[in-house]
């Protein structure tokens, strides 16, 4: 069921940005739906840090979950604000990894960790903070279990001389 919502979230995000899919009405959903706000590339600030993913825009919108990506990164700021700042930033870069590298969860995680390390805001303590948050929030249908995922995050953090797509 969550996988289906993930796919629907991607379709809605893409459609809303392109103006092709109208937001569902309150009669259809039973609640008032906010259309969302598009933040142009390079203009997004999350927890005090400017984040960007090339020429990809971000759609700020209330939905189930933290983040989704397709041809736009869709963020649920209400859900994210409860997480530590480094976790919020890593989630954004994970979605950016999907934009750049495709659907592979491990590649998206490694992209996020390497970019964070390169930018200087992620250290070993930060990895453990992120792993704690992942263990609390669960892993969902598409991510590895939290322990395996954290082992991969640690490996990606420790690797030197590896590019974002995993090549050497």
Residue of 54 and 16 predicted with greater confidence? 54
pLDDT reported for residue 1:
34
Judged by DSSP in three states, 39 sits in: strand
Query: Which structure tokens are listed for 84?
Result: 């530590």
Task: Quick: pLDDT tens for 17-68.
Answer: 333 233 333 333 344 445 689 999 999 999 999 999 999 999 998 776 665 5
Q: What is the residue extent of each domain of the chain?
A: 2-158
- Predicted local distance difference test score (pLDDT) of residue 146: 82
Residue with tokens 């960007």: 52
User: What was the pLDDT predicted at 44?
Assistant: 95
- 136 or 133, which is more confident? 133
For 107-132, how does the pLDDT look when each residue is reduced to its tens digit (9 = 90+)?
Answer: 999 999 999 999 999 999 999 999 98
Phi-psi region of 102 (alpha: psi -120 to 50; beta: other; left: phi over 0): left
Phi, psi dihedral angles at 75 (to 5 degrees) = -115, 140
Query: What are the helix (H) ranges across 19-158?
Result: 26-29, 77-80, 85-101, 105-119, 124-137, 146-158
């Amino acid at each position: 069921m969550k996988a289906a919502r993930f796919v629907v979230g991607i379709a809605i995000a893409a459609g809303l940005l392109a103006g092709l899919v109208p937001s569902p009405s309150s009669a259809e959903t039973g609640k008032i739906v906010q259309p969302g706000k598009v933040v142009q590339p390079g203009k997004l600030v999350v927890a005090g840090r400017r984040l960007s993913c090339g020429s990809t825009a971000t759609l700020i919108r209330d939905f189930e979950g933290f983040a989704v990506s397709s041809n736009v990164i869709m963020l649920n700021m209400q859900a994210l604000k409860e997480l530590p700042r480094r976790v919020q930033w890593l989630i954004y870069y994970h979605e950016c990894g999907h934009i750049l590298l495709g659907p592979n969860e491990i590649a998206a995680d490694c992209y996020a960790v390497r970019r964070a390390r390169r930018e200087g805001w992620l250290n070993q303590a930060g990895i453990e903070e992120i792993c704690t948050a992942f263990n609390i929030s669960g892993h969902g249908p598409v991510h590895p279990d939290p322990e395996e995922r954290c082992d991969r995050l640690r490996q990606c953090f420790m690797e030197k001389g590896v590019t974002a797509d995993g090549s050497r």
